[in-house]
């Protein structure tokens, strides 16, 4: 019996030994006067974080590799089986501590998430930012904000090979890309001109199908589990919202028409569906400060909002106060807990959700060395 139990333990993958896993990217390149720390970069990293609705988050593994908080918090993707993750790198830092454009994607092995390993580095479009993995691990798509491209990589044995690229109009600035269920369609969200480009995927090639408008300066989004509705955060709002306000819109992908728009507060970042698709969490900057010495640091805070997802609409459920310049978020598998990255405080905060209210658990917050900027689970992207 003892031998049988030992054999069973040995057969378990390292991932199975943990509760929920979040993969979080930290950006140490964003050095800003007023941070209250020495004016020099801290290490970029990708961390594996164990958590659950009953367990405080803890870092179980970390790899120093390029990551980013620039653009929407969609610069990390992880395989459904947690065998590997992808991290994009739109900037590099020079000896003078100044940033310049970069175009790399890191492939990170997670066979043992306590010891993540760099498997490969490939190049995509300049300013590589948004990344999305096909759920069957056949391919990945990456946006290039600097050269207005969507790049396709096929995947075999965790090795990426570039096979196709779509070039958009100048200054389209695609910041995010989302692959629809089934893997034959994708949507590229274009910050520069307020459009979404529908893409067809066939074999190892992508091609452009059509464009539709979702709002002003759309930053990032998520697709409902049935693939019908695209939920997008628009920094510049929508035609039916107040001028200059940010808005979250819902678009029917069948005809490209917006079915719902709601003002949510300035600089909405993450758009994260719950595992069952019934709720969506929005991380909203809300005009909060980007450094601790800002005049409004103690008076203006970010906001976490949860909405129920309906047929072409969203119904508001709950709000909670966040920190400052907060970025990505993830749900626990049982949908009772959310982790949220706040970049100024350099921490990951914990909020419990009971279906009606959000409750912060400040004692469970996780401190990071560098600014956290993107975060996923295998239910996210």
Mean per-residue pLDDT for 341-365?
A: 98
Q: How far apart are CA 358 and CA 169, in angstroms?
A: 42
Q: How far apart are CA 17 and CA 256, in angstroms?
A: 43
At 237, phi and psi to the nearest 5? 85, -160
Q: How confident is the model at residue 35 (pLDDT cuts 50, 70, 90)?
A: confident
Q: How confident is the model at residue 5 (pLDDT cuts 50, 70, 90)?
A: very low
pLDDT at site 381: 83
Per residue in 94-121, pLDDT tens?
888 889 999 999 999 999 999 999 999 9
Task: Report the C-alpha dihedral over residues 75, 80, 85, 86, rounded to 10 degrees.
Answer: -40
Per residue in 123-133, pLDDT tens?
999 999 999 99
Per residue in 246-301, pLDDT tens?
999 999 999 999 999 999 999 999 999 999 999 999 999 999 999 999 999 999 99
H-state helical runs in the chain: 2-11
Choose from 2-6, 8-12, 369-373 the range with maximum mean pLDDT.
Answer: 369-373
Report the predicted TM-score, pTM, of the whole model to 2 decimal places.
Answer: 0.94
pLDDT at site 18: 78
Q: How far apart are CA 29 and CA 22, in angstroms?
A: 22
The mean predicted confidence, pLDDT, of the chain is 94
Confidence check: pLDDT of 23 > 80: yes
* Neighbouring C-beta atoms of residue 300, cutoff 10 Å: 15
Q: Evaluate whether 177 touches 201 at the Cβ level (below 8 Å).
A: no
Q: Please, what are the domains in the chain?
A: 2-376 (2.130.10.10)
Tokens representing residue 77 in the block: 């993707």
Q: Evaluate whether 230 touches 253 at the Cβ level (below 8 Å).
A: yes
Per residue in 199-225, pLDDT tens?
999 999 999 999 999 999 999 999 999
pLDDT at site 3: 46
**CA 346: distance to chain centroid?**
16
């Amino acid at each position: 019996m003892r031998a049988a139990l030992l054999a069973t333990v040995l057969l378990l993958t390292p991932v199975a030994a943990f509760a929920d896993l979040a993969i979080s990217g930290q950006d140490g390149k964003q050095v800003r006067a007023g941070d209250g720390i020495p004016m020099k970069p801290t290490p970029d990293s990708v961390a594996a974080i164990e958590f659950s609705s009953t367990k405080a988050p803890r870092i179980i593994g970390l790899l120093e590799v390029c990551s980013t908080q620039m653009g929407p918090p969609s610069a990390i993707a992880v395989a459904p089986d947690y065998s590997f993750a992808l991290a994009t790198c739109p900037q590099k830092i020079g000896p003078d501590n100044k940033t310049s454009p970069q175009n790399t994607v890191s492939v990170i092995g997670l066979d043992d998430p306590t010891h993540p390993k760099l498997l490969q580095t490939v190049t995509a479009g300049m300013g590589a930012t948004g990344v999305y993995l096909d759920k069957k691990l056949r391919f990945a798509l990456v946006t290039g904000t600097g050269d207005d491209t969507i790049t396709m990589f096929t995947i075999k044995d965790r090795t990426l090979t570039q096979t196709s690229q779509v070039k958009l109009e100048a200054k389209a600035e695609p910041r995010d890309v989302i692959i629809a269920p089934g893997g034959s369609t994708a949507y590229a969200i274009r910050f520069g001109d307020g459009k979404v480009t529908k893409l067809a995927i066939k074999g190892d090639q992508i091609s452009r199908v059509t464009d539709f408008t979702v709002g002003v300066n759309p930053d990032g989004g998520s697709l409902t589990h049935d693939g019908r509705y695209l939920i997008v955060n628009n920094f510049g709002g929508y035609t039916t919202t107040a001028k200059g306000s940010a808005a979250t819109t819902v678009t029917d992908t069948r005809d490209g028409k917006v079915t719902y728009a709601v003002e949510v507060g300035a600089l909405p970042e993450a758009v994260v569906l719950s595992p069952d698709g019934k709720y969506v969490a929005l991380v909203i900057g809300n005009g909060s400060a980007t450094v601790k010495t800002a005049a409004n640091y103690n008076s203006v805070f970010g906001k976490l909002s949860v909405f129920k997802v309906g047929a072409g609409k969203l119904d508001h459920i709950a709000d909670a106060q966040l920190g400052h310049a907060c970025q990505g978020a993830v749900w626990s598998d049982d949908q009772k807990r959310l982790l949220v990255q706040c970049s100024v405080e350099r921490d990951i905060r914990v909020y419990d959700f009971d279906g009606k209210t959000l409750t912060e658990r400040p004692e469970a917050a996780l401190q990071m060395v560098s600014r956290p900027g993107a975060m996923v689970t295998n239910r996210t992207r």
